[in-house]
Amino acid sequence: MKKAIIIGSGISGIASALRLVAKGYDVEILEKSYRSGGKISEFTVDGFRFDMGPSLFTLPALVDELFSLFGKSSTDYLNVHQLDVTCQYFFADGSVLKAWSDTQRFVSEAIRLGADRKTIERYLNRQSFLYHYTSDFFLFSSIHKLSSYFGVSARKSLKALHRLDAFTSMHKRNNSTFGNSPLVQLFDRYATYNGSDPYRAPATLNMIAHLEHNTGAFFPTNGMYGIVKALERLALEQGVRFHYNTTVSGLRFNKKKITSVESSVGNFPADVVLSSIDVAYFYRSVLPEKKMLKRIEKRERSSSALIFYWGVSCQSSLDLHNILFSADYMAEFDALFQKKHFGNDLTVYIFISNKVVQSDAPEGCENWFVMVNAPENVGQDWAAETAKARSVILSKISSHLGIDVEKHIVNERIVTPVDIEANTGSVNGSLYGHSSNGALAAFLRHPNYSRHYKNLYFAGGSVHPGGGIPLCLASAKIATQLIK
């Protein structure tokens, strides 16, 4: 059997391993941490369990597909609950909206925010149309390979070419559609799903709304880390070998082919190498290439996050996912990307897995994952930035929800962009590698293969097609399809 070595056991790394096993490869994964998951992680303290990273699960069929490769059913490994409400939104003007998974129910609810039914339905149909005709090419194909442009998916995407809106910003399109309605801010928010600025990201990204409002959102009944546990279990059953606490230090070559991977525990011979770690970190620490690194570092990096994990001794009327919007979204993103600091008002995301997984908090309590979008780490005073953000968050929760949550916090853990970089290898703490702030951003992402080494491939949120669980799974599919 040919040997494949995968660097990193994030969800794209495990997915890549499974796909390569299905192709007949003997696969080993090298992971610097003591467990799998990458950004998808968890911790428990005083009876509170917290998912540490991604909290939204869409397109579960991409996970199901990995089990079907081996004639297995995902339901034997993972129980997934479809949400009735994808998110609850609180706007600065005091209005509140429940985004129901049922499309027509959501439309009926959204009408209260000042847009008519036809406008909302036309908008959602547009995003559905774009996703249906373009996703196979832009999300599930190697757009860096010339041959992809002559395939069925490319021809299919031509039907939607005139509606891609690549040279209009998300905000401009949403504003022209909904005017002064708070729905503009709701749909602008989807830029943050890949760490971008809705005032500069192309309106093409508005199709992200399709995944929540037309196909629905889901949640594993044992938390987000349950996805990793299920895939890891499947991988172990298929013979994948995991090497934890193993730091990759370099590669060995024979001309333009990698022959082995060097690590802190020894040398691993390889016929194929796939990196699922941050691509900038890869070119800094694993395969130092000044030209490639310089090219990567020229591009604007995505936003990061500041997260507070609060065990609270009270119960709230909040849902699983909740957003408390800032009063000036433009100022918030200007501070985030241009000034690299927090603005004076912030949009706050509150995720409470205890709403679905009751055992995630002691009786009468809740586990609050409280996050604000943060700038990448460029040496800011994070103690001061954290104190400022915490004050804004507590004030916003009090004004919107009428809860003095601070007096109910029984334990607290804080993760800054510095911690994110240290814990996950994401350069500067940027969650998605590069931002998508530009019409050609999709084409400028690093491809899923190396142009210099014929057996080196890439998957994960920092390469094509981008970050988030669905796109990381898509990257694994693209990369492994390129491997003979």
Half-sphere exposure of 269 (CA within 13 A, CB side): 4
Query: Looking at the predicted structure, is the pLDDT value of residue 75 above 90?
Result: yes
Neighbours of 480 (CB within 10 A): 24
In a domain, 87, yes or no: no
pLDDT confidence tier of residue 277, bands split at 50, 70 and 90? very high
In a domain, 74, yes or no: no
Q: Are 140 and 149 in contact (CB under 8 A)?
A: no
- The alpha helices in 239-359, defined as continuous H runs, are 279-281, 290-298, 329-334
- Domain membership of residue 199 (yes or no) is yes
Residue 462: pLDDT above 90? yes
**CATH number, residue 454:** 3.50.50.60
Residue 259 has pLDDT above 90, yes or no: yes
Q: What is the mean pLDDT of residues 462-470?
A: 95
Instruction: Please name the residues in contact with 301: beta carbons below 8 A apart, sequence gap of 6 or more.
Output: 195, 376, 427, 428, 430, 433, 434, 435
Residue 35 is part of which domain span?
Answer: 1-40+220-300+434-484
Are residues 210 and 112 part of one domain?
yes
Same domain, 181 and 208: yes
Q: Do 184 and 283 belong to one domain?
A: no
Helix (H, G, I), strand (E, B) or coil at 235: helix
The answer on pLDDT for 108 being more than 90 is: yes
Place of tokens 């001309």: 255
Q: How many domains does the chain have?
A: 3
pLDDT score at 161: 87
**Each residue's pLDDT tens digit, 414-457:** 999 999 999 999 999 999 999 999 988 989 999 999 999 999 99
- Helices (H) then strands (E): counts for the chain: 16, 19
Residue 484's pLDDT band, with cuts at 50, 70 and 90, is confident
Ranges of H-type helices in 309-426 = 329-334, 382-401, 417-424
Question: Which of 339, 328, 322 has the alpha carbon at shortest distance from 376?
Answer: 339
User: Is residue 122, in this structure, part of any structural domain at all?
Assistant: yes
pLDDT for 317-327, tens place per residue? 999 999 999 99
pLDDT-derived band at 263, boundaries 50, 70, 90: very high
Q: What angle do CA 286, 291, 295 make, to 5 degrees?
A: 100
Which residue among 415, 443, 469 closes a domain? 415
Q: Flag whether 52 is in a domain.
A: no
**82: in domain:** no
Does residue 148 lie in a domain region? yes
Provide the percentage of residues in the chain whose pLDDT is more than 90: 95
